[in-house]
Chains A and B, each alone.
Chain A
C-alpha cells in the first residue's frame, strides 16, 4: 500500500503511482505473481501535475492541464500487461472521479483513450439505490471479445452481451418517448421495453456488496432478463444460439 493522503505534499503525489507500479512490475515479472493494481484517485494525480506545471509557468492546454498529461497518464497505464514467456501479470483498475460527472473532462477523456475500456458509474442509478450503479452503455471492455465465449466463459456470452447492450440502449429511447407522451400511450412492445429496463437494473446490475455471482449465474441472469421479449426482438443473437439458450417455458 502506498498512501499519499489529501493533506500530504502534492509533489510526492506524482511519485506515488510510479513507485507502486515499479513494485507491481517487480512482483509480476520477476516473482511471477498476478498483481492487481488499484490507483485512486487519478483526478487528484492529474491535478497535482497541473499545479506543478502551472507553478513552472508552462503553457497549458485544456482546462489548465499540461500538454503532456496524455503522455504522463500513458506512461502509468501502459505499465499494465503480460510479457511473453513470463508467468506474472499486471492488471490495473485506476479509479477517477469525473469533475461534475463530465466524461469529456480531460482526465476521464485522456484516460479513456489509453485504457482498454472503462466502467462508468452513474448518479441516477445510484439515486435509484442500484449497487453497483454501473451505466453499461458508456461502459466498455475492449479486451472482452477475445476473453469470453467458447473455451473461456460460455459460447452464448458474446451474443447475449450484445443483445443486452442493444436492448438496454433502446430502453433509453422508449423512456424518452414515455416522458413525452406518457407511459400508457406506449405501444405494447414499447411497454415490454420499459419493463425490461426496470428488471435489468434491479436484478441484473443490482447486487449485494458481498454477493459473489459466478459467471454461469451471471449468464443465466442475462437470459432471464431477455425472456420477456419474443424471440424475434432479439436480433443480435445468432439463431442457433437463440434456439439453444433462450429459456423454455
Chain B
C-alpha cells in the first residue's frame, strides 16, 4: 500500500508527498488521527486528497496511508432502518463511541458484524451462478426481505453451501469455483460509490410512482425509475414535499439523503418514521427507510460523497428486485460542496464559481435512475427526487438550470403560494411532467378511462383562471361575463378542494389515485351542470347561494379514503342543486 506524508493543507484539501503509488479514488487514512479521505488527483510530485472530516489540527509531515481500494460502501443486511453519515458510518454507533458530538478519526464498520441473521440458502452445490443471482434470503426488517445476491462481476459453480441458520455478515455461506479458483461469498459485499452497479437492460418508464399527493399523482406524475426536481426558495416546502413522498409513496424502499441540511430535520424523520405506520405493510415506515445524514455542519467533502453513497445503496436494493425511491435534500448543497472543493483545488470556475463539470456530474447522478431488468432477471427501479435550493429563489441560477436538463419532472415551488399558506406550494403553471403522456396507458388501465382527459380539463380551467386574473387585477371580477366568473369559481374549487392538500389531516395526508380521480370527476360534473345553469341565465351570485361549492371543497376532509361510496351521494347532491336552481331561476 502507498504511504506518504502531508505536505500542504487547505481546508479539506490535503496535498501529499512521498509516494507515487496512490490510485485515483483510493480511500486513504490521513494524519495521526487517521481521518478518512479520498484521492482526487495525483501527479509525480503530489497526490491530492479530499478529507471527509474536519482538518483542524492536522500537521505537516503526518503520515497518509492508502488502503488499496476505492471509496466504497459495505452492502448487506442491516442497512434498512439505519442512519449513516455521508460515507456510510453508522451514526448510532458513533454516538455510542464518541458521545453526542461527533469526534474525528472514528473507524467503525458500516454494518453490525456481530448481529446474527436468520439465513435461508437458495442455491445448492453444483449450480452454476453469475452476478446478481440470489444465494440466500434473510428478513432484514418486518417489511423487507433481504436477498443476498452474488456480486455483479462474480460467476462460477457452487462447490459449498452452508446450512440454513443464523450467521453474521462476514460468515461464508457459499463458495464458488471459477477457473480453478475458489470464491467465498458472505452476507456482505462492497461496491465503489462512484461506479453505477450494472444491469441487464433499461426499460422506458411506464408505471407511476404513486405518492398519494394529488398535485403530483394527477397533475405532474412521476414514473418508477424516473427523475424529478423540487426547486424552491426557503420556506416553500421542499423538505415537506420530500417527507410526504418518503412517507406515502408506493416504493418498497426509501433512501433519504439529508445532504447539507438541518440536523433537526433528520431527527424529525427518525422520530416520525418510527411511529408512522406504512399503510401497505402495516409496519413502521422506518422498516423500509434508510437515512443518510450529512447535515450542514458536518464536513463538506463527506457531503459531496453522501449523494453517491445513497444512490449505491439504492441500486443494491434495486438489484434484489425492489422499487427504490431516493429523496436527495438538497442537491444544491451537494453542488456547493463541489464548488467549495473546486475552489480549494484552484480550478478554473465556470458560472457563479461552480466548476465546469457541474453539469456532467449532475447528469451522471440523475442517469443512475432507471427502471431496469437486473442481472438476475428481476425488475426493479431507482427513482430520484432531488430538492434544489436556488439562491435567492431564482430559478435561472446554474444548479436549477443544469438540473432541468436532466430531469423529466419539474415541481416548481412558489413563494407567493407559500406566503398565502397554500400547500403544497407547487405552482401548476410553471411545473411540468414529461411522464404524463408515458403513463396515460397505465392510468387508463388501472384508474379510469377518463383520467387523462379529466386531468387536462382541470389544468385548462386553471390556465384559464390565470389569464382571467390578469383582467381581474385591473378591473375587478364583477365586470366579467358570468361564464368567465364561473371559471374563476370552479378554479377556486379546484385550488382549495383539490390542489391544496393538508399533510396534517388524517383523511388528506395520503389520497389513493381512485379517490383523486373521483374528486376530479365530481368537480368537472359540477362544472358541467353549473355551466348549463349559467347559460340558461342563472347569475353567479345566485349560484353561490348554494352551499354545494363549499361542500365539494371540504369533501377531501369529509370523505375518508375507505368511504368512496359517498361520492354517489355527492353526485346526487349536485343533481339536486341543478334541478332546484333550474326550476327556480332558469
Chain A interface residues toward B at CB < 8 A: 29, 58-62, 66-68, 70-71, 74-75, 78-79, 81, 83-84, 86, 104-106, 109-110, 112-114, 116-118, 137-138, 140, 142-143, 145, 158, 162, 165-166, 169-170, 176-177, 180-181, 185-187, 232, 235-236
Contact = CB atoms under 8 A, between A and B. Distances in A.
Interface string B543-569: 000000010010000000000000000
B504 A145 contact: yes
Nearest to B99: A83
Contacts of A236: 421
B336 interface: yes
Contacts of B474: 180
Given A70-B336, A83-B100, A109-B392, 4 more contacts: A61-B339, A74-B295, A113-B389, A118-B235
Interface stretch (B178-186, B259-267, B531-539): B259-267
Nearest to A61: B353
B475 interface: yes
5 contacts: A58-B343, A70-B333, A114-B262, A166-B421, A236-B421
Contact of A67 (B264, B336, B392, B478): B336
A245 to B, nearest CB: 18
Contacts, number: 109
Contacts of A165: 420-421
A235 B553 contact: yes
Contact of A106 (B233, B349, B391): B391
B496 interface: yes
A35 B260 CA distance: 25
A112 B343 contact: no
Interface in B302-349: 333, 336, 339-340, 343, 349
Contact of B550 (A140, A181, A232): A232
B100 to A, nearest CB: 5
Q: From B339, B352, B392, name the one whose CB has the most chain A CB atoms within 10 angstroms.
A: B392
Nearest to A161: B421
- 7 closest residue pairs by CB, A with B: A74-B296, A104-B392, A112-B234, A78-B297, A169-B420, A61-B353, A137-B419
A204 B353 CA distance: 45
A67 B262 contact: no
Nearest to B419: A137
Contacts of B233: 109, 112
Given A117-B235, A140-B235, A185 B476 contact: yes
Contacts of A176: 473
B78 interface: no
Nearest to A181: B476
Nearest to B393: A104
Given A61-B353, A78-B297, A177 B235 contact: no
A118 B420 CA distance: 16
B394 interface: yes
B494 interface: no
Contacts of B295: 74, 78
A109 B234 contact: yes
A187 B235 CA distance: 33
Interface string B388-404: 01011110000000000
Contact of A181 (B235, B349, B393, B475): B475
Contacts of A78: 262-263, 295-297
A71 B259 CA distance: 12
B71 interface: no
Contacts of B550: 232, 235
